[in-house]
Structure 1
Amino acid sequence: MPPPATTNLGYTPPDGGWGWVVVLAAFISIGFSYAFPKSLTVYFKEIQEYFGVSYSEIAWVSSVMLATMYAAGPISSILVNRYGSRPVVIVGGFLVGVGMVSASFGTSIVHLYLCVGVIGGFGLAFNLQPALTIIGTYFQAKRPLANGLAMTGSPVVLFTLAPLNQFLFDSFGWRGSFLILGAIVLNCCVAGSLMRPVNKMVVFKPKTEPLEVNGAEEASGAEALRSEDSPKSQSCVHRFIDFSLFKHRGFLIYLVGNIILFFGFFAPVVFLAPYAKHQGIDEYSAAFLLSIFALSDMFIRPATGFIGNTRWIRPKIQYFFAFAVSYNGVCHLLCPLLPGYAGLVVYAVFFGFAFGMLSALLFETLMDLVGAKRFSTAVGLCTIIECGPVLLGPPMSGALVDIFGDYKYMYYTCGVFMLVPGLFFFIMHYFNYRKLEEEKHKEAVGMRTAEDTVHLNIGQKDKSEDEMEK
């Protein structure tokens, strides 16, 4: 097993035990957070005809839901830092359920924007971030594997919800289906109840630092860290949202690259089936491409977590993430060059691998950069900034299809949006790793110098005492 990442949590994570139950709960919570907005597209055609709206208007339901999920990240951070993951996830599951039940009585498309998009989006935000945060409190040495398993929830839930939604749609229509989905998503409340705070073990620390005790609540490390280093007069916002992260070199590299890549992250999935239909492929075969994509995604996520936890990858996991981002870009650039349905099947397989690798590493690499203590705040700041690209990416890609009448330019553009940040990550993290090594070396030299000075002072003191005695 490779050595754990450098993170001073103040206790020793169990790296197992109840942590695996927490991974299962995070699997459910994360799965609903990412898969739910995509699975609702099954109902869009009937809702579009019912309200007499255009396809672009109905497509905003999922976009608003995803954007709200990302924009509510800082609010979720504050709540997690204050109350822990368990109550936040329970409230999040309840909110999504209430949003779906309310939407079933909708009388206009705006009603769906508010109920499904805003209320449901807030609920998904309260499901996603706490699930990611609590894994970092239970795991350190096995954290990439745990994150990879938890992130597998997204393709598994999507693979399950897609046929279920079709069955519900055929049996009950969109209103009855929304009522049933509102009840199904309450399983997130059950998942949240399993996320009990980690039992922090007693560790010996220098006298200048407080001692952690058993049964301490999970209030996140971002709060604990600032309670030692920051004055008590700080505002509530500064206590729970660490704006000093914008001075963190690794965090800034991650944030800049992610802003670019999210413009091309979701659009290729959204337009995969329409692209196949555009080439004259029947609807069932086009839909089957999404199943192929989901299966590839499902299997690669835990494998990525296992590979990321090896002693060869773990110390420089940022390079692995850069490879995953670049791999996505190459897949999109080659997609229009692959002939016929067989070519699209090959693309769906390799794109599923690429998408799954990136998704499994997306939050693990952020935790590797800022540490588990500051992760909750870091992911909150990232998601609110990334909500812009998440919201605008698919409509911009759709505009390219409208302008040129061909999907290939959209795939080329998404490929560039992924390949450029991948190369950016490779270059910037090369310099970042070198800088970290230099800083570590200087710190070690400084500590040795301090020790030598102490020893010299002690020696001089002993010598002067001997002289006085003589």
Structure 2
Amino acid sequence: MSYWADPDGGWGWVLVAAFFVCNSLIYGLMRVFGIFFVEFVQYFEESAQAISWISSIGVATQQSTGAALGNAYGARVVVMAGGLLAGLGLILASQATSLFHLYLSMGVMSGLGWGLIFSPMMATVIAHFTRRRTLALGVSLSSIGLSAFAFNPLFQMLKEMYTWRGALLISGALSFNIIPCGALIQPKKPSLAAERLSVLFERPYITYVIAASLFNAGYFVPYFHLVAHSRQVGFSEYQAAFVLSAAGATDILGRIFSGWFSDLGHFRLIHLLAVWTALTGLSILLLPVSSLTALYPALMVVSSVYGFCSGALTSLVFAVLPQIVGVSRVMGALGLFQMIESGAGLIGTPLSGRAQLHKMSTLFVLMSCFHVVESTVQHKSLNTESNITKAVHVKDILY
């Protein structure tokens, strides 16, 4: 079987499985770090805002490195190096004696490792699919929800058995499994397509990046603070962990459903993305409302709706990008795309940290506004994205 044969199958599905595992060990782990939030506040005796910078530094550093190095040295080497850095960063974090150590280990080192993994893997999967691209991305990204569903109670148990240090040590060991996943990537044939990067600075692309930045500012906030919010309302540690698990379970369904439905071709991807983004913002808005009654089922239902909608939109965020810039420019476009949106990710969680634990309701209202505004920007300004790359074919990057 030729590695590059069959642009909607073949080895592409092996890479989907590899990307599935990588996402579990990047964003799946990032989502469970909210379990450690209260522990870090108490152990290091720091403010919630200061602790929030761990997540923000990790998000910011991961967004700007992988695409550029992937273009220069090839996706295979870069992804394997990323797995090594991510694992080492978490292992070093387990030995931290100050908050600054966590900034350097979890934030900078693991963040750089995560950044080396995501963009090259994403571009590789996109290159192997045409008609089933959104479904392939949906399946690949569904592991984020699956791992969140499994990891939250697992790491809650590990934290109680081995303390937060032991749980971080185990997460670092798990991250080393990214290395063999990267080894599955084979070098592609040199591209003969013209790399006119000027298209990256045209209005549709820049507008889309701005919209994604608004999304990125609020995306990780519920996962980082929902456990603390649930504890504040009066639920137990395990109940709080299962709130995140519920969101993770429906996240899986949302990603797969969104990929399948989008590939049917009934609606334009950008319109579907705007709808799912608005629904995500509205579901975040309902999170504090559901907790006012202190009814656990109400919080579980709203968290599940949030997980489904946020999962559905994530599959489309990257599926829209090839339509804007063309498949042959995806790697470069991903690099600039993630570099710019990382600025929003850098300020999102510290901004949320200023809310402190007694202002979580206001925090969720603010983050919902980011999503609703983003959906408006997407729908209004990106109706011309198909004019740029209607004639782009997969052969442009394969031969």
Shorter-chain-normalised TM-score: which range?
Answer: 0.7 to 0.9
* Aligned equivalents of 1:67, 1:264: Cα separation in 2: 14
TM-score, length-scaled by structure 1: 0.75
Decide whether the 8 Å contact of 1:296 with 1:349 is kept in 2.
yes
Tell me the residue number matched to 2:56: 63
Structure number with the bigger relative contact order (C-alpha 8 A, sep ≥ 6) is 2
Amino acid across the alignment from 2:308: F
1:195 CA drift (Å): 1.8
- Mark the CA change 1:129 to 1:114 in structure 2 (over 3 Å): closer, same or farther: same
Structure 2 residue 311 is matched with structure 1 residue 349:
no
Amino acid across the alignment from 1:426: H
The match for 1:360 among 315, 319, 329 is 315
Structure 2 residue 180 is matched with structure 1 residue 225:
no
Structure 2 residue 15 is matched with structure 1 residue 22:
yes
Partner of 2:95, secondary structure, is: coil
Structure 2 residue 271 is matched with structure 1 residue 278:
no
The match for 2:220 among 260, 266, 284 is 266
1:46 CA drift (Å): 4.3
1:401 CA drift (Å): 5.6
1:93 CA drift (Å): 0.3
Decide whether the 8 Å contact of 1:250 with 1:370 is kept in 2.
no
Deviations 1:37-95 (A, max 9, x none): 2323434444554444444333322222122112xx2x321221123211111000011
* Aligned equivalents of 2:85, 2:34: Cα separation in 1: 20
Amino acid across the alignment from 1:333: L
1:32 CA drift (Å): 1.8
How many pairs align?
Answer: 385
- Mark the CA change 1:145 to 1:400 in structure 2 (over 3 Å): closer, same or farther: same
RMSD: 2.6
1:308 CA drift (Å): 1.1
- Mark the CA change 1:395 to 1:432 in structure 2 (over 3 Å): closer, same or farther: same
1:185 CA drift (Å): 0.8
Decide whether the 8 Å contact of 1:30 with 1:131 is kept in 2.
no
Amino acid across the alignment from 2:370: F
Q: Structure 2 matches for 1:88-167, cutoff 5 A?
A: 88-167=78-157
* Aligned equivalents of 2:239, 2:91: Cα separation in 1: 33
Structure 2 residue 179 is matched with structure 1 residue 189:
yes
* Aligned equivalents of 2:77, 2:210: Cα separation in 1: 32
Decide whether the 8 Å contact of 2:200 with 2:325 is kept in 1.
no
The alignment-based identity, stated in percent, is: 31
Decide whether the 8 Å contact of 2:37 with 2:228 is kept in 1.
no
* Aligned equivalents of 1:409, 1:178: Cα separation in 2: 31
* Aligned equivalents of 1:175, 1:273: Cα separation in 2: 19
Tell me the residue number matched to 2:272: 320
- Mark the CA change 1:66 to 1:335 in structure 2 (over 3 Å): closer, same or farther: same
Amino acid across the alignment from 2:29: F
TM-score, length-scaled by structure 2: 0.87
Structure 2 residue 281 is matched with structure 1 residue 329:
yes
Structure 2 residue 270 is matched with structure 1 residue 301:
no
* Aligned equivalents of 1:251, 1:432: Cα separation in 2: 8
Deviations 1:232-277 (A, max 9, x none): xxxxxxxxxx3x2443232122112122232322223333233333
* Aligned equivalents of 1:395, 1:143: Cα separation in 2: 35
* Aligned equivalents of 1:261, 1:184: Cα separation in 2: 29
Amino acid across the alignment from 1:395: P
Deviations 1:340-371 (A, max 9, x none): 22332221121111110111111111122112
Partner of 2:354, secondary structure, is: helix
Structure 2 residue 170 is matched with structure 1 residue 177:
no
* Aligned equivalents of 1:390, 1:152: Cα separation in 2: 21
1:121 CA drift (Å): 0.5
- Mark the CA change 1:167 to 1:268 in structure 2 (over 3 Å): closer, same or farther: closer
Amino acid across the alignment from 2:361: K
* Aligned equivalents of 1:19, 1:261: Cα separation in 2: 29
- Mark the CA change 1:137 to 1:48 in structure 2 (over 3 Å): closer, same or farther: same
* Aligned equivalents of 1:414, 1:322: Cα separation in 2: 16
* Aligned equivalents of 2:164, 2:288: Cα separation in 1: 35
* Aligned equivalents of 1:99, 1:32: Cα separation in 2: 13
Amino acid across the alignment from 2:61: T
* Aligned equivalents of 2:306, 2:12: Cα separation in 1: 31
Tell me the residue number matched to 2:379: 426
* Aligned equivalents of 1:52, 1:407: Cα separation in 2: 20
Bigger Rg over Cα? 1
Deviations 1:401-433 (A, max 9, x none): 67xx54333232222211122122112233556
- Mark the CA change 1:329 to 1:168 in structure 2 (over 3 Å): closer, same or farther: closer
